[in-house]
Structures are given as structure tokens and as C-alpha cells.
Amino acid sequence: MRVSAEITAFSDRLGHRFGRSDLLVRALTHASIGSRTRPDNQRLEFLGDRVLGLVMAEALLAADRQAAEGQLAPRFNALVRRETLAEVARRLDLGTVLRMGRSEMLTGGRRKEALLADAMEAVIAAVYLDAGLEAARGVILRHWRGLIDSVDVDARDAKTTLQELVQARGEPPPVYAELAREGPPHAPLFTIKVQLADGTEAQAQAGSKRQGEQEAARMLLERLEGGA
């Protein structure tokens, strides 16, 4: 199967030359343009999630042979969550080679976190089916190595950490509020505030409510830890 120069360039960035290029094309095909003759990447996404999970679990065990399950689990979650997958996809410029329907494209599909994360999982599965687990492991570790090395000892997400902190103090849970939404529908910018019962608060801006809440919680945690 002949593929475009853009997909070949993506394969080079990924670090895997496919024997079955149809697998990579399928991994890059969103459901909005998929059909019976052009299968989309949803089934590959399902498989890639499991392959990534296995490799990450192995890597974390090897990286810290003394860590307990309670330490490993939050690190694992930080490395396989949607935000991390999308981050790796962006570094690979995966969005430029995604195949999708016109409506999805016009609403900013190439930049959507969910689409990038799903496609990244599908690409991992494509490598696995093309050349086996060792090849998939090599690709994953190549692009996740820095993340593995820098993952926090306690990598719980900021919202969870803040929630547990205020609960330990016997206080009500943090309250999140959307203060503003700006920009076009395909590229919104949310302003999110998080506030504690004593009035302490922090604000952040992000491209999604979820990211905004995480960033606001992270900023508030830094303020509390700094004693501000």
C-alpha cells in the first residue's frame, strides 16, 4: 500500500518503519471518515491502551524496585492518562496526519486532546500488530522515557491531591467555577477558578474545562505549599 510523504515522515518521527503500512493508515483514520472499506482506528485504540499499560507497568517496576503498589499506581495513571498521550502525540505532530471528516476538521479535530490521545493508542497498536511487542515497547519507551524519568514520586493529579489535602484538614471540598469562555468554538479558552471554604483561591486558563480545573488546582497547591 502506497502512503503519502506526510505519513512516511510521521513514521520516521515515530521511529518505526512499517512492513504493513495499512495498519498505520488505519491507526490515523478517525471514525468520522471511516467506512466498511476504510476501517477507522477504534479497535486499534482498544488494543493500544492495553499494550501501553503493560509496557508502562514493566517500566515503572524496573525504574523503582522498592516502590509499593500505592506509589506505583499514581505514577502509572499519570503516564497513561489522556493528557499524557496527547502530549506525546503533539510532540510527534500526529495531528497533521490524522484522517477525519470535514465537519470534525472544521471544529479543530486535529488539535482535540481526545482525538490525539485515541490516535496515539491506535498507533501503538499498529506497531504491535506490525512487528510485535518488542517493537511496540521500543517505540513507547523512546517517546515516554523522559516522562518516566521525571514522573513525580507521588503523581496523583492535582485535583485529587487538593481534595485529599482539604479533607485531611476537615474542610469542605474545593469548589470549581467557570468564570469565562473565550475564542471560537473549535479553539475555546476557559478561565477556571477553584476556591476553598476559607476563601483561598486560584485561577487558570486552558483549552478545556478539565485542563483548567487541573491547572487551577495545581496553582492553589503551590500557593498552599509556599505558605502564601
d(CA 194, CA 29): 38
121 is catalytic: yes
d(CA 44, CA 146): 25
| DSSP collapsed to 3 states, 119-146 | HHHHHHHHHHHHHCHHHHHHHHHHHHHH
At a CB cut-off of 8 Å and minimum separation 6, what does 225 contact? none
d(CA 160, CA 143): 26
d(CA 78, CA 189): 24
Q: Please tell me whether residue 189 adopts helix, strand or coil conformation.
A: strand
Looking at 40, 87, 104, 121, which residue is catalytic? 121
- Annotate 75-91 with b (16+ C-beta within 10 A) or e (fewer): bbebbbeeebbbbbbee
Dig out the grid coordinates for 154 from the structure. 507521588
Looking at 49, 113, 213, 215, which residue is catalytic? 49
List residues with catalytic annotation: 49, 121
